């Protein structure tokens, strides 16, 4: 099920007025986006190989950007007189890349102890914390990621906790505040983590110390959230007429129906929002058996899993993930760094992509990997080919664009090159699925935020100013 972004913006859920009330309470935003696109004129990219992100490849095609939106994609487009024309001959054009799993800003460079803001490792359930409140907008990693074509990213809390808190979706634009990067209207994510990490972190700190302890921890939290949700049900629009035999202080479901829910609980707000589907659930989880357990947990409490992250064993249950409409946000080749990562294979993404309705995502979880998601995808394609699975570029590009957008609930406005969507676009010097590919130009909402050949269009963090100036070049 897709949740249209507009529905989220308007705080009107597709499920009707009841949920709309709940959503407005659980997902109010006192820290709203102040992002405004950089003013820019129309841009016409001509004669390029265009991967639309919808599964199509267009050769010798044009892309027209205007007023921050994609206006048209096709052959021989005409452009307004004031359009900047970009010669795309020999170049490839794709939607801006999207990383669903980043810790930029919360574990920034330089990795100082003062900057270690990604894990609120003080309790196993910290659904009350929001990653955005840890984001340091001056992380030079944002700009390095931009040079790799990243236009949007979800910054998540780390995986120390069973329930780590809310993740935030950002537009990858330089700003002095995170609100200036905050993707307007994007739903929050809820970060959860399975397996080794929580039990390792809390094993000597009161638990959980086992996988069964992990599951008991999620269940306890969601039981509280279900109760909270019930207490926060809105009063019926027209109160039921009271019968003579009903006392004034009870009977029926008057207790919960009339309950205001009491004092707001930030932790339960987030979990209730997740149950309602307004906050999208992203679960760090490696092993196939644990993925299946988490799907059962989701059913038990009525929430939907947007994506399993890392899932090095997702290939073992690829059919089930596809059938349940759950994405796998995965690495191309990481494995073996801990026991639950021992069965990683290089065809994981290709196998999760293979079933009808499969939703494979290339994610980074790395300030290095986010700079070259295209190369990660290229490795998957090469390994798929070796295993007899040929994957065309127009299909593979979805792993870095449409599919992460879907899992983040922003596919209505970005992730593909379709008329009306945000003009988040990358111009590559060649087929992007190569180690030699460079993002030459990156557009966010139609503005050229990065240009490989123009230093005036290469942002630099405040932190990097004046570094190395002391020696004045002396050796």
Minimum distance between the CB of residue 103 and another protein, rounded to whole angstroms?
A: 13
**And the tokens for 134?**
């840890």
Minimum distance between the CB of residue 50 and another protein, rounded to whole angstroms?
A: 20
**And the tokens for 388?**
């007899």
State the residues that interact with another protein by CB under 8 A.
109-112, 140-141, 144, 196, 315-316, 318, 333-339, 342-347, 351, 354, 367-368, 371-372, 375, 378-379, 381-383, 385-390, 433-438, 463-464, 467-468, 475
| Residue 260 main-chain phi, psi, to 5 deg | -75, -10
Torsion of CA 362, 172, 168, 26, to 10 degrees: -120
Q: Which is nearer to another protein, 165 or 344 (CB)?
A: 344
Minimum distance between the CB of residue 106 and another protein, rounded to whole angstroms?
A: 15
Q: Which is nearer to another protein, 353 or 411 (CB)?
A: 353
Which own/partner contact pairs does 11-20 have at CB distance under 8 Å and 24+ positions apart? 13/276, 13/277, 13/278, 15/276, 15/277, 18/233, 18/234, 19/276, 19/277, 19/278
Q: Which is nearer to another protein, 77 or 382 (CB)?
A: 382
Minimum distance between the CB of residue 338 and another protein, rounded to whole angstroms?
A: 3
Q: Which is nearer to another protein, 47 or 57 (CB)?
A: 57
Minimum distance between the CB of residue 134 and another protein, rounded to whole angstroms?
A: 18
Element (H, E) at 309: strand 305-310
Q: Which is nearer to another protein, 363 or 421 (CB)?
A: 363
Q: How many CA atoms lie within 13 A of 405 on its CB side?
A: 28
Minimum distance between the CB of residue 164 and another protein, rounded to whole angstroms?
A: 19
Q: Which is nearer to another protein, 62 or 196 (CB)?
A: 196
Task: Give how far Cα 298 sits from Cα of 185, 223, 266, 339, Å.
Answer: 25, 12, 21, 25
Peptide bond into 110 cis (omega under 30): yes
Q: Is 459 helix (H, G, I), strand (E, B) or coil?
A: coil
Minimum distance between the CB of residue 175 and another protein, rounded to whole angstroms?
A: 19
Q: Is 440 helix (H, G, I), strand (E, B) or coil?
A: strand
Q: Which is nearer to another protein, 119 or 276 (CB)?
A: 119
């Amino acid at each position: 099920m897709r949740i249209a972004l507009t529905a989220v913006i308007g705080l009107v859920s597709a499920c009707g007025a009841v949920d709309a009330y709940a959503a407005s309470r659980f997902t109010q935003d006192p820290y709203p986006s102040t992002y405004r696109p950089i003013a820019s004129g129309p841009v016409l990219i001509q004669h390029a190989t265009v991967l639309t992100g919808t599964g199509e490849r267009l050769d010798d095609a044009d892309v027209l950007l205007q007023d921050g939106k994609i206006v048209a994609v096709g052959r021989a487009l005409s452009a307004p007189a004031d359009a900047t024309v970009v010669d795309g001959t020999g170049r490839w054009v794709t939607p801006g890349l999207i990383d669903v799993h980043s810790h930029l800003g919360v574990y920034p460079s330089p990795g100082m102890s003062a900057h270690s803001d990604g894990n609120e490792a003080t309790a196993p359930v910290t659904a009350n914390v929001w990653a955005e409140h840890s984001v340091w907008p001056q992380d030079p990693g944002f700009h390095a990621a931009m040079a790799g074509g990243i236009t949007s990213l979800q910054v998540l809390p780390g995986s120390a906790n069973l329930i780590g808190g809310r993740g935030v979706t950002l537009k990858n634009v330089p700003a002095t505040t995170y609100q200036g990067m905050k993707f307007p209207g994007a739903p929050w994510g809820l970060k959860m983590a399975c397996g080794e990490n929580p039990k390792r972190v809390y094993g000597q700190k009161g638990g959980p110390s086992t996988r069964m302890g992990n599951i008991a921890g999620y269940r306890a939290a969601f039981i509280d959230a279900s109760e909270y949700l019930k207490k926060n049900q809105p009063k019926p629009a027209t109160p039921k007429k009271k019968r003579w035999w009903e006392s004034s202080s009870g009977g029926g479901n008057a207790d919960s129906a009339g309950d205001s829910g009491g004092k707001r609980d930030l932790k339960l707000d987030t979990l209730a929002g997740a149950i309602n589907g307004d906050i999208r659930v992203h679960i760090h989880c490696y092993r196939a058996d644990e993925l299946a357990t988490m799907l059962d947990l989701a059913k038990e409490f009525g929430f939907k899993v947007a994506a399993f992250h890392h899932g090095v064993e997702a290939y073992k249950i690829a059919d089930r993930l596809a059938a349940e409409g759950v994405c796998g946000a995965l690495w191309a080749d990481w494995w073996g760094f801990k026991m639950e990562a021992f069965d990683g294979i290089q065809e994981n993404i290709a196998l999760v992509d293979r079933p009808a309705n499969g939703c494979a995502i290339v994610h980074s979880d790395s300030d290095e990997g986010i700079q070259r998601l295209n190369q990660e995808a290229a490795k998957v394609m090469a390994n798929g080919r070796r295993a007899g699975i040929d994957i065309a570029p127009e299909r593979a590009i979805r792993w870095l664009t449409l599919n992460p957008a879907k899992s983040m609930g922003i596919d209505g406005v970005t992730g593909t090159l379709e008329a009306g969507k945000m003009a988040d676009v990358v111009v590559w010097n060649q087929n992007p699925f190569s180690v030699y590919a460079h993002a030459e130009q990156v557009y966010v909402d139609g503005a050229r935020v990065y240009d490989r050949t123009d230093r005036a269009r290469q942002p630099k963090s405040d932190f990097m100013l004046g570094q190395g100036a002391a020696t004045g070049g002396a050796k």
